[in-house]
Structure 1
């Protein structure tokens, strides 16, 4: 059970959690765009139409684009840590190859080494990573799926080349990304960037929650959908990330041993790759902390008995975390 699956859940507890988020769901009218176009509207121009012949490739492209976007940002700010903790690694581990196996060398040394080479070399074009990103995307899909090893197609995952239309789609998306996201209004060489941020205690309570990227106070979600509208699930997911991060801060997750980097989230945003549009929601303006505090109390109460994967954080001070959660339940924040 993860944040995403809780939002999709039909049981009583999941519906109760969803209600907590619905009570602070951002209003569509409170979003604004960098282009000054009306958010989620027909004022958007479809720069990269989805012309993929296989609908299943849309998901593959979306995940591969996430990798490419993060790798390009990492190249720009020289951040080698981008390759740590990739979901693709979890997928590869599902294949259960020993460390000395040639396929392990392919994944860790050749593919991982190529990404590091790209980050260090400003002259290397992102196109050098297209095939690797597609393989990473396939492995991430395996990481998310409930599938037996015997049902896994190794040839497809590690060796089958990407369809040319997938590569062309990624190329077009990255051209637009370079023009509309890699700009001074969004990022500079000294920007604070956190790749795949998680939310400490908050992430573990929902048994998994990590976002795409955090840059200078804004939490971004990359989208390659052809849809212009604001999707309720996406809206709830992003405000859910925000509240889970506030819970991480309230439980001092960065001080008591959790895998958490402190994030001061001021805005949440969607980057729409096919339109080159960014939709921002100013959380500080529309959701003051006096309204956040009772929601943290509700979340802590919701997870009082069933605490997700919190017990798996063996390196962290779980007693302290539980004590902080009890204080939050009692309104002592």
Structure 2
């Protein structure tokens, strides 16, 4: 179970409310890229991949990790049918080829977009979903949705000559909460991507990005120097092309950070221990 599950425990939620002041963000405005289907979760994960692909193009120095979809394929191998595994394997190989070609040609095409949709389906297996028999079927409206989301990305929001880490984990700290991987770190900013219908900062989304920050303080950030400091947290509202930035120093009493980290790590260890006991 991932960080989001850990953050749902009542005592954890309450402690976050006590320690961290959530800024108010709610704008009544129409999205620049409205949903084209009701496949909200699928599109959200697929766009995470698509935007990270784009960021790798914009920032050749970016450090990336294995796709979570690759672990999904292993789940299918263990529990699914041989046919589904073969389809998933082919989709993964094709996705790698399409990704490599994209970085070489710098041209985004429908094949890349279809690949990220299949990667999203494979990643869903890691989150507990089953790979469906129609796994390879692609809804063309989903393709159009992703095109629309990518078209409104402001490259200047995500381009730097400095540090870029794509889909980073947090060392052993990630394991404490059953898995945690952020979307992107750019310089001193840790960013989470949200492909949601409303431009509003929900408490659960705020807590999630704060949780990543705490994990980074405990376990570091994969692919980033150990002395690298996160000073800002961001949430990218993809349907609005809006990158909302929060200064870490404005969110809590920094003198309490040692106590917060001690509590968080100890509570996470309790959680991890209970998960191993029940499994």
TM-score (norm 1): 0.72
Where does residue 118 of structure 2 map in the other structure?
A: 135
When residues 104 and 270 of structure 1 are mapped into structure 2, their CA distance, relative to the original with a 3 A threshold, is closer
Where does residue 62 of structure 1 map in the other structure?
A: 44
Residue 50 (str. 1) matches residue 39 (str. 2) = no
Residue 233 (str. 1) matches residue 204 (str. 2) = yes
Residue 294 (str. 1) matches residue 276 (str. 2) = no
1:6 and 1:195 map into 2 onto residues whose CA distance is: 23
When residues 305 and 78 of structure 1 are mapped into structure 2, their CA distance, relative to the original with a 3 A threshold, is closer
Where does residue 5 of structure 2 map in the other structure?
A: 5
* Preserved contact between residue 69 and residue 120 of structure 2 (Cα < 8 Å): yes
Residue 201 (str. 1) matches residue 172 (str. 2) = yes
Shift of 1:260: 6.4
* Preserved contact between residue 73 and residue 89 of structure 2 (Cα < 8 Å): no
* Preserved contact between residue 271 and residue 277 of structure 1 (Cα < 8 Å): yes
When residues 305 and 62 of structure 1 are mapped into structure 2, their CA distance, relative to the original with a 3 A threshold, is closer
* Preserved contact between residue 165 and residue 223 of structure 2 (Cα < 8 Å): no
When residues 108 and 63 of structure 1 are mapped into structure 2, their CA distance, relative to the original with a 3 A threshold, is closer
Where does residue 36 of structure 1 map in the other structure?
A: none
Shift of 1:46: 1.7
Residue 22 (str. 1) matches residue 25 (str. 2) = no
Where does residue 70 of structure 2 map in the other structure?
A: 89
* Preserved contact between residue 202 and residue 244 of structure 1 (Cα < 8 Å): yes
Equivalent position SS for 1:129: helix
1:304 and 1:80 map into 2 onto residues whose CA distance is: 31
2:63 and 2:268 map into 1 onto residues whose CA distance is: 32
When residues 60 and 304 of structure 1 are mapped into structure 2, their CA distance, relative to the original with a 3 A threshold, is closer
Q: What are the superposed Cα offsets for residues 255-282 of structure 1, whole Å, 9 maximum, x if unpaired? A: xxxx664452111111111111111110
* Preserved contact between residue 36 and residue 144 of structure 2 (Cα < 8 Å): no
Listed as ranges, the gaps of 5+ residues in structure 2 are none
Shift of 1:41: 1.5
* Preserved contact between residue 192 and residue 234 of structure 2 (Cα < 8 Å): yes
Q: What are the superposed Cα offsets for residues 228-286 of structure 1, whole Å, 9 maximum, x if unpaired? A: 2211111111111111111224xxxx7xxxx6644521111111111111111100344
2:34 and 2:58 map into 1 onto residues whose CA distance is: 27
Shift of 1:139: 0.7
Residue 187 (str. 1) matches residue 159 (str. 2) = yes
* Preserved contact between residue 50 and residue 226 of structure 1 (Cα < 8 Å): yes
Where does residue 142 of structure 2 map in the other structure?
A: 166
> Pairwise CA RMSD of aligned residues?
2.7
Listed as ranges, the gaps of 5+ residues in structure 1 are 9-13, 30-38, 312-333
- Size of the aligned set, in residue pairs, is 269
Shift of 1:303: 4.2
Shift of 1:171: 0.7
